[in-house]
Amino acid sequence: MVSNPSTIDTSSWDGTLSSRDFCLAARAFSDIWKTSNPAMPQWSWVVPSPKLPLIAPHQVEGYLLLENVILPRFSEEDHDEGSHTQKEEPSCSDQDEPIDSAILVKSCGGELHHYDFHIVYSTSYRVPVLYFRAYCSDGQPLVLDDFEKDLPANSVKAITESKWTFITQEEHPYLNRPWYTLHPCGTSEWIKLLLTAEASMAKGACAIEKYLVSWFSVVGQVIGLRLPFEMLSDNAQL
């Protein structure tokens, strides 16, 4: 239980978080997930090993990790119903890195697909960012086209058409390996709208500990991992 939780004054807030508040929100999110999802794999707060002296440390020395998740599979009919024309990947800045197809391999057929998810703080955008990788039981990684088949059709449509939820492949800031990520461009804008609406029913303030719960209620749906209703309840215990 977090005592005297910090709050966000949404009247002058820009939708971002400080690194300190991210740590607070991340630990609260992990606690409430454990209470609401005891049978699910659990989020863990990971502190990376010390960096080399010549490399500047990150503001946040830690991130949330959820491993070995098997998403519900969706039928080909589900995807046919949501079929669409592929559009050019949107871009928010010149910092976006192209996907390196050289590191990808073919699909592993009909095997179950496993997912690892990391929630990492972006010092550039000052918001949480979801990094993830998909792989077969033998560790063979999946290409984007393969793991899109695991997602509901509306998620695939959002990924390819929305400027807020498009997927890129970038170097993981702690592991120094390419992972897929939902680009953080626009996150501060939509999370501000979301939490401001919630705060309007709470005298203009919103607990920082609720930030990641609200954020993941949107981001999780994009990759097919929905929060249980208990986590979204105003009575959820932090």
Structural domains in the chain, sorted by start: 7-41+60-73+100-232 (3.30.1460.50)
Tokens 């955008």 found at: 125
Q: How do residues 4-61 score in pLDDT, each as one tens digit?
A: 457 777 778 899 999 999 999 999 999 999 988 888 889 999 988 765 444 445 556 7
What does the angle CA 85 – CA 87 – CA 93 come to, to the nearest 5 degrees?
Answer: 165
Residue 76 has pLDDT above 70, yes or no: no
Q: Which residues are catalytic?
A: 185
- Quickly list H helices, the chain: 19-36, 76-81, 144-147, 153-161, 187-199, 211-222, 229-232
- Give the SS3 label for residue 234: coil
> Buried b vs exposed e over 130-146: b needs ≥16 C-beta within 10 Å?
bbbbbbbeeeebbbeeb
Query: What's the whole-model pTM score?
Result: 0.77
Residue 152 has pLDDT above 70, yes or no: no
- Give the SS3 label for residue 102: helix
Which structure tokens are listed for 164? 């807020």
Q: How do residues 181-192 score in pLDDT, each as one tens digit?
A: 988 988 999 898
